[in-house]
Amino acid sequence: MAMMRLRREDPRVVGSFRLHRRLGAGGMGVVYLGSDRRGQRVALKVIRPDLAEDQEFRSRFAREVSAARRIRGGCTARLVAADLEADRPWFATQYVPGPSLHDKIAEEGPLSAADVAAIGAALSEGLVAVHEAGVVHRDLKPSNILLSPKGPRIIDFGIAWATGASTLTHVGTAVGSPGFLAPEQVRGATVTPATDVFALGATLAYAAMGDSPFGHGSSEVLLYRVVHEEPHLQGVPDALAPLVRACLAKEPEERPTTLQLSLRLKEIAAREAQGLGMAPQPPDGRPPAPRPERAERLARAERSTGPRGGRAQPRPTERYPERSAQRTPAPRHQGGQGSRTGGSSRPRRNASHPGPRTGPRTGPRRTGPGTGTGAGASSGLRRPANPRLLRQRLFVFVVVTLVVLLGIAGAQALQG
């Protein structure tokens, strides 16, 4: 934000704040850079003398400041102090270092789709906090958005419009710019949170194109276009155009809510940052239907799960397809094979090896040359040790040891 030296007519101290530089001037008054005794920097706005004499303005200004105190959120400039009874009322907000979105676009050109979506998601969250406090910004535009190192910040929320519709022709002032005002504002109808959604859509279009979606011209021409003509969004990326167009709907009830905007813009920002792009989304706020490939993946995942929700274990031939292709089936009449048939995990006894079995096999299988499970086979295909057999062997070992010890003790007693 550009700073200028204080002029001769500018105050040096306002309230408990010492003023250092001029930050700008608008329809309401002059904004200064100040600091308190602890060194905290603030942006302090002093109201114009002619507005200070208007009692209706003072009353409305007091209501707006009271509502602004309730706003909590990281995307707004926090109100620090205000004096509504001073000869020239003033209020101070947290100082936000960084250029405005308007200056950023003017110097560097339009932003990428990912950057526009990320800024829009943060602004939507900020507007959620503003609306929950009972405030409608009514003057959201690129010059009222500061790009700080910690993210975008909204300034001048809901206070500037208190001067009334007679100041709407002052383009670029804090009262409002015609290219970013909603149709209901132009008609003089009641403003709602949807009014800020329209302004946010126009702001996002400006960030993506570097120009207003309603073009240029006099205030009267721009106001007419806002009410009666469709916006021009040719330069807006395809991933953002449907959502921006929905925000710029003429009727407030047809626009998405700030919460819906935040969720959608976060998704678009994540996908654009990964270079995945995004298909156009419906403007009615409903979540899009899953893509065919995603539905197919979900169906395969459901088929591969077990009856209790656990994932079914793949067969050896599924885990090692190359081994299955190279395997040569061995004849059953040959001895010493010990091969597996049909991928079964249970070893089959061969007829050429008669005789009783002493118990389950616990060690690694010994395989012949034609089994397909040689020395290079993974240990994941071997049969695990039988816990029951291990417990039996341990019990026998303990009993034998006790018998031997008792025998030795008895022999020693007899010799004594």
Of 413 and 360, the structure prediction assigns the larger pLDDT to: 413
The residue-averaged pLDDT of 316-335 equals 43
Q: Are 209 and 257 in contact (CB under 8 A)?
A: no
Of 343 and 415, the structure prediction assigns the larger pLDDT to: 415
Of 283 and 169, the structure prediction assigns the larger pLDDT to: 283
Measured CA to CA, the distance from residue 41 to residue 33 in angstroms comes to 7
Of 250 and 386, the structure prediction assigns the larger pLDDT to: 250
Measured CA to CA, the distance from residue 319 to residue 200 in angstroms comes to 53
- Name 24's bridge partners: 31
Flag the least confident range among 158-167, 264-273, 287-296, 350-359: 158-167
Question: What confidence score (pLDDT) does residue 391 get?
Answer: 83
Question: What confidence score (pLDDT) does residue 1 get?
Answer: 56
Question: What confidence score (pLDDT) does residue 296 get?
Answer: 59
Which of 292, 310, 289 has its CA nearest to residue 301?
Answer: 310
User: At residue 265, does pLDDT exceed 90?
Assistant: yes
| Domain 13-273, second-level architecture | Orthogonal Bundle (1.10)
**What ranges in 29-152 are assigned the alpha helix state H?**
49-52, 55-68, 101-108, 113-132
The residue-averaged pLDDT of 23-34 equals 86
Kind of pairing between the strands at 151-154 and 145-148: antiparallel
* pLDDT bracket for residue 297 (50, 70, 90): low
Question: What confidence score (pLDDT) does residue 386 get?
Answer: 78
Of 134 and 398, the structure prediction assigns the larger pLDDT to: 398
Q: What's the full length of the chain, in residues?
A: 416
Tokens found for residue 197: 């959604």
Neighbours of 217 (CB within 10 A): 14
Mean pLDDT of the chain: 76
Question: How does 379-390 read in b/e, with b if 16+ C-beta sit within 10 Å?
Answer: eeeeeeeeeeee
* pLDDT bracket for residue 229 (50, 70, 90): very high
User: At residue 285, does pLDDT exceed 50?
Assistant: no
Phi, psi of 172 (to 5 degrees): 85, -5
pTM of the full structure: 0.61
- Alpha carbon 2 to chain centroid distance? 31
> What residues does each domain of the chain span?
13-273
Residues 6+ apart with CB under 8 A from 82: 65, 89, 90, 91, 92
Measured CA to CA, the distance from residue 89 to residue 320 in angstroms comes to 79
Question: Which of 83, 139, 156, 211 is flagged as catalytic?
Answer: 139
The residue-averaged pLDDT of 165-182 equals 55
Question: How does 143-166 read in b/e, with b if 16+ C-beta sit within 10 Å?
Answer: bbbbbeeebbbbbbbbbbbbbeee
| Annotated catalytic residue 36 | no
Tokens found for residue 108: 């560097």
Rg (CA), the chain: 38
* pLDDT bracket for residue 37 (50, 70, 90): very high
Which secondary structure element, helix H or strand E, spans residue 188, and what is its range?
Answer: none
User: At residue 182, does pLDDT exceed 50?
Assistant: yes
pLDDT in tens, 66-112: 877 878 776 888 889 999 899 999 999 989 999 999 999 999 999 99
266 annotated as belonging to a binding site for a ligand: no
* pLDDT bracket for residue 6 (50, 70, 90): very high
Neighbours of 41 (CB within 10 A): 17
Neighbour order of strands in the sheet with 29-35: 13-14, 17-25, 29-35, 41-47, 90-94, 79-83
pLDDT in tens, 300-311: 554 544 443 444
